[in-house]
């Protein structure tokens, strides 16, 4: 089983790339988020999930461990194959996924290609208990539920008091936290979240 590849990134396409390792080109499927982070023509490392079938061997690449863990979890849900899991991870970062699941936000999940209303409900139902323990991304600890307090909960409370719906506010705060990191000040977090909501 292949767990990691380090090599020259060649042949970047919409949903896959070729990783040249010592003259051998590995075809690796990945989310658009991971592919956008890869330096074309330069060396990079991808974490790999290998899937072996009777008629094929497929490699799925991830820029960080959080995305790979989410891929593994998503593919345990009935109706979510590797392609749909990558579509979900292309539409939502691990942090945004946690926020969407905790908020019961079907709309965010259906933004992913291949995810309809029924599958979104199944994802919310099956992953609600597991989402809080999942990694949120590089340098981030898992997102705590809003009731846990902290700067994220304070920001969310401020946005809800301003009249925004909780699910929309949670996604906006998650996106801003992913961009700025957990060390952002409350005033900055509120201001940037309002900009996010205005888009």
pTM over 0.75, yes/no: no
Residues 49-92 pLDDT 10s? 999 988 889 999 999 999 999 999 999 999 999 999 999 999 99
Instruction: Determine the 3-state secondary structure of 103 from DSSP.
Output: helix
Q: Are residues 74 and 96 in the same domain?
A: yes
Q: Are residues 23 and 88 in the same domain?
A: no
State the Cα–Cα distance between residues 180 and 148, nearest whole angstrom. Answer: 21
Q: Are residues 131 and 154 in the same domain?
A: no
State the Cα–Cα distance between residues 171 and 57, nearest whole angstrom. Answer: 36
Stretch 27-31: mean pLDDT, rounded? 96
CATH number of 47's domain: 2.40.50.140
| CB neighbourhood size of 198 (10 A) | 7
Residues 130-167 pLDDT 10s? 887 787 764 333 333 333 357 888 888 888 888 887 77
Q: Which of 16, 14, 8, 21 is nearest to 59 (CA)?
A: 16
Q: Are residues 168 and 130 in the same domain?
A: no
Q: 160-164: long-range contacts at Cβ-Cβ below 8 A with a sequence spacing of 24 or more?
A: 162/194, 164/197
Q: Is the dihedral of CA 127, 52, 55, 9 positive or negative?
A: positive
Q: Are residues 148 and 138 in the same domain?
A: no
Q: Are residues 119 and 58 in the same domain?
A: no
Which residue range(s) make up the domain with 136? 64-142
Q: Are residues 73 and 130 in the same domain?
A: yes
Of 13, 47, 63, the one marking the end of a domain is 63
CATH number of 99's domain: 1.10.150.20
Instruction: Determine the 3-state secondary structure of 19 from DSSP.
Output: strand
Q: Is the dihedral of CA 156, 157, 158, 163 positive or negative?
A: positive
Of 63, 84, 114, the one marking the end of a domain is 63
User: What is the pLDDT of the chain when averaged over all its residues?
Assistant: 86
Determine the Cα angle at 74 with ends 153 and 199, to 5°.
Answer: 45
CATH number of 184's domain: 1.10.8
Q: Are residues 84 and 46 in the same domain?
A: no
Number of domains, the chain:
3
Of 63, 88, 104, the one marking the end of a domain is 63
């Amino acid at each position: 089983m292949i767990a990691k590849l380090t090599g020259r990134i060649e042949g970047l396409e919409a949903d896959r790339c070729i990783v040249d390792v010592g003259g051998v080109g590995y075809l690796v499927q990945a989310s658009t988020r991971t592919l956008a982070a890869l330096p074309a023509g330069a060396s990079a490392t991808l974490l790999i999930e290998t899937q072996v079938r009777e008629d094929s061997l497929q490699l799925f690449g991830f820029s960080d461990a959080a995305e790979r863990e989410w891929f593994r979890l998503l593919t345990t849900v009935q109706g979510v194959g590797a392609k749909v899991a990558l579509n979900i991870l292309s539409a939502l970062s691990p942090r945004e996924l946690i926020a969407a699941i905790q908020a019961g936000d079907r709309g965010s999940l259906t933004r992913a290609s291949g995810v309809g209303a029924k599958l979104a409900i199944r994802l919310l139902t099956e992953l609600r208990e597991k989402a809080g323990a999942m990694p949120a991304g590089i340098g981030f600890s898992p997102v705590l539920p809003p009731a846990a307090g902290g700067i994220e909960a304070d920001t969310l409370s401020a946005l809800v008091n301003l009249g925004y719906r909780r699910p929309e506010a949670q996604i906006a705060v998650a996106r801003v936290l992913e961009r700025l990191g957990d060390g952002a000040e409350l005033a900055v977090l509120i201001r940037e979240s309002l900009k996010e909501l205005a888009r």
